[in-house]
Amino acid sequence: MTVVTRFAPSPTGTLHVGNIRTALHNWLWAKRHGGRFLLRIDDTDQARSEERFVEAIRADLAWLGLRPDAEVRQSARFERYEAVFADLVARGTLYPAYETPEELDLRRKVLLGRGLPPVYERTALALSDADRAALEADGRRPHWRFRLEHASIVWDDLIRGPQRFDAATMSDPVVRRADGSWLYLLPSVIDDVDLRITHVVRGEDHVSNTAVQLQMFESMGATPPAFAHGALLTGSEGKLSKRLGSMGVAHFREAGIEPEALRALLARIGTSQPVEPIVDADALTGTFDFAQFGRAPARFDETELAGVNARIVHQLPFDHVAQRLPAGMDAAAWEAIRPNLERVAEAADWWAVIAGEIAPAITDDDRAFLVQAAERAAAIDWSADPWHALTDALKQASGRKGRALFLPLRLALTGRDHGPDMAVLLPLIGRARAIERLSAAAN
Ligand code: GLU
């Protein structure tokens, strides 16, 4: 059996970090099992779905490196939904109901007032053909409900373990509105059947949907997929955070976060495994397992993400980042600078130190020393380790040591009082430029 998962966003907005995590988990599970990962665009709500969001979702997945093996759109499948609908209506599994939202609301309040669960009482099932004809003649159009079989519904959730619902305590779900438009529940099941989805991986806000959807699979004579409902994300404060809802790929890109960092973090938070700066997708895939997930909410902490990001940046090969580096910066420079970066964009800053114009603030006390430095720089062997050669020679010549020795050199050579290891920087600055900078600073 080939594992097939699907990520099923509604294109009514851009993806936020919670959606990204769901997409990643679907992708990881499919890849782990050599299976297929599908993108399903849930655009049955044509008033709220927008093409620009479909494009944004595709672009975000591409940036994250989560390439779908295929894409399906619900809006292209209305005919199929119609056919299943007709069949389920003919079998009495779907039935028309005529209550207005106001009537339903009132009934709910009455039940709650009596201390009863606000479950739909199936009033519509009691209507005769004549009642229905009268309502229709009155201009009422029905919405459609799925008739639950009053039994217990059980499944073994890959994350939550054994689940049990009593269908008798649940309202028959509305699957289609009076205007003919679809609610999410039934089309999703039809797609999952047709696309042979083996694992439905989504957030725990869908757990009660799963209960009714299991009966829908049954009504279609299909074997339901396995389910994995992930605990929700919370912010670093441990509370459900509104901010997470607005944090998407655009936000992370702007913050200099690499897709690998986001993947490494989101694959592991909420699990018993440590968050590790794993660049290699296969390494991440190989260790991914729903059995490792707990039921407690997963804490998403941007500071932790920044930390993982830095450790990822330190590993990125030149080829991977070359297009984002300033012109002229080569592999040697990238490797030298990389350990000092938290974000790839900072490389430009360091490249400016190496190859650009600098304006060091030199104090007069250091000028004579820098004259000496310029002379020594011309005399040392540059082929091996010029920084140690230069500082050893200057220690001898000037009697300076420690900060008094190193700081004026760093300032004169880079224009800054801190930064990457000078032993790494100096060969990149090179002999000619170093002598020029030391001489300029000495004057
Ligand atoms: N469009 C649904 C959502 O975004 C899909 C849920 C599912 O994965 O079945 O919540």
- Residue 17 C-alpha to ligand 1 middle, in angstroms? 15
The DSSP call for residue 173 is P
Residue at a domain's end among 129, 145, 176:
176
Sheet of 36-41: strand order equals 70-73, 36-41, 4-7, 199-203, 226-230
The domain that holds 22 is classified in CATH as 3.40.50.620
Considering the domain architecture, whether residues 23 and 46 belong to the same structural domain is answered as yes
Considering the domain architecture, whether residues 50 and 135 belong to the same structural domain is answered as no
What's the pLDDT tens digit per position in 332-383? 999 988 998 999 999 998 898 899 899 999 999 999 999 999 999 999 999 9
In this prediction, residues 378-395 reach a mean pLDDT of 96
Residue 239 marked as a ligand binder: no
What's the pLDDT tens digit per position in 277-288? 999 999 999 999
Considering the domain architecture, whether residues 62 and 197 belong to the same structural domain is answered as yes
The domain that holds 408 is classified in CATH as 1.10.10.350
The answer to whether the CB of 155 falls within 8 A of the CB of 227 is yes
Considering the domain architecture, whether residues 84 and 225 belong to the same structural domain is answered as no
- Residue 232 C-alpha to ligand 1 middle, in angstroms? 14
Q: Is residue 200 part of a domain?
A: yes
Indicate whether residue 8 lines ligand 1 (CB < 6 A). Answer: yes
Per-chain mean pLDDT for the chain: 95
The parent domain of residue 122 ranges over 80-176
Q: Is residue 53 part of a domain?
A: yes
Considering the domain architecture, whether residues 367 and 393 belong to the same structural domain is answered as yes
Q: Is residue 208 part of a domain?
A: yes
Q: Is residue 151 part of a domain?
A: yes
What's the pLDDT tens digit per position in 94-121? 999 999 999 999 999 999 999 999 999 9
Considering the domain architecture, whether residues 128 and 53 belong to the same structural domain is answered as no
Question: What pLDDT shows up at residue 239?
Answer: 66
Instruction: Report whether pLDDT(265) > 70.
Output: yes
Q: Is residue 219 part of a domain?
A: yes
Question: What pLDDT shows up at residue 238?
Answer: 66
Given pLDDT bands bounded at 50, 70 and 90, which one contains residue 12?
very high
Question: What pLDDT shows up at residue 336?
Answer: 87
Residue at a domain's end among 133, 149, 176:
176
Indicate whether residue 11 lines ligand 1 (CB < 6 A). Answer: no
What 424-430 contacts at long range (C-beta under 8 Å, 24+ apart), as own/partner pairs, is 424/336, 424/337, 425/336, 425/353, 425/354, 425/387, 426/386, 426/387, 426/390, 427/336, 427/382, 427/386, 427/387, 428/332, 428/333, 428/336, 428/354, 429/354, 430/382
Residue at a domain's end among 195, 210, 234:
234
Indicate whether residue 148 lines ligand 1 (CB < 6 A). Answer: no
- Residue 129 C-alpha to ligand 1 middle, in angstroms? 36
Question: What pLDDT shows up at residue 114?
Answer: 96
What's the pLDDT tens digit per position in 161-203? 999 999 999 999 999 999 999 999 999 999 999 999 999 999 9
Considering the domain architecture, whether residues 369 and 436 belong to the same structural domain is answered as yes
Considering the domain architecture, whether residues 110 and 169 belong to the same structural domain is answered as yes
201 CA: nearest ligand 1 atom? 8
Indicate whether residue 192 lines ligand 1 (CB < 6 A). Answer: no
Considering the domain architecture, whether residues 199 and 146 belong to the same structural domain is answered as no
Q: Is residue 327 part of a domain?
A: no
Question: What pLDDT shows up at residue 421?
Answer: 85
In this prediction, residues 5-34 reach a mean pLDDT of 97
Q: Is residue 254 part of a domain?
A: no
In this prediction, residues 427-437 reach a mean pLDDT of 96
Of the listed ranges 127-141, 176-190, 412-426, the one predicted with least confidence: 412-426
Instruction: Report whether pLDDT(424) > 90.
Output: no
- Per the document, the length of the chain is 443
In this prediction, residues 305-311 reach a mean pLDDT of 98
Q: What is the DSSP string of 213-228?
A: HHHHHHHTT-PPPEEE
- Residue 161 C-alpha to ligand 1 middle, in angstroms? 21
Considering the domain architecture, whether residues 162 and 201 belong to the same structural domain is answered as no
The answer to whether the CB of 54 falls within 8 A of the CB of 40 is no
The answer to whether the CB of 69 falls within 8 A of the CB of 38 is yes
In this prediction, residues 302-306 reach a mean pLDDT of 96
- Residue 258 C-alpha to ligand 1 middle, in angstroms? 26
Question: What pLDDT shows up at residue 231?
Answer: 94
Question: What pLDDT shows up at residue 7?
Answer: 98
User: How many CB atoms sit inside 10 A of residue 91's CB?
Assistant: 10
Ligand 1: which of 6, 7, 10 to mutate, judged by most atoms within 8 Å of the beta carbon? 10
Can you tell me the distance from the alpha carbon of 349 to that of 344, in angstroms, rounded to the nearest whole number?
A: 10
Residue in 264, 262, 236 with CA at minimum distance from that of residue 249: 262
Q: Is residue 86 part of a domain?
A: yes
Number of domains in the chain: 3
Considering the domain architecture, whether residues 64 and 190 belong to the same structural domain is answered as yes
Considering the domain architecture, whether residues 84 and 138 belong to the same structural domain is answered as yes
- 2, 204, 211, 296 from 156: Cα distances, Å: 20, 14, 11, 18
Atom 5 of ligand 1: nearest residue by CA position: 8
The answer to whether the CB of 188 falls within 8 A of the CB of 42 is yes
Atom 10 of ligand 1: nearest residue by CA position: 9
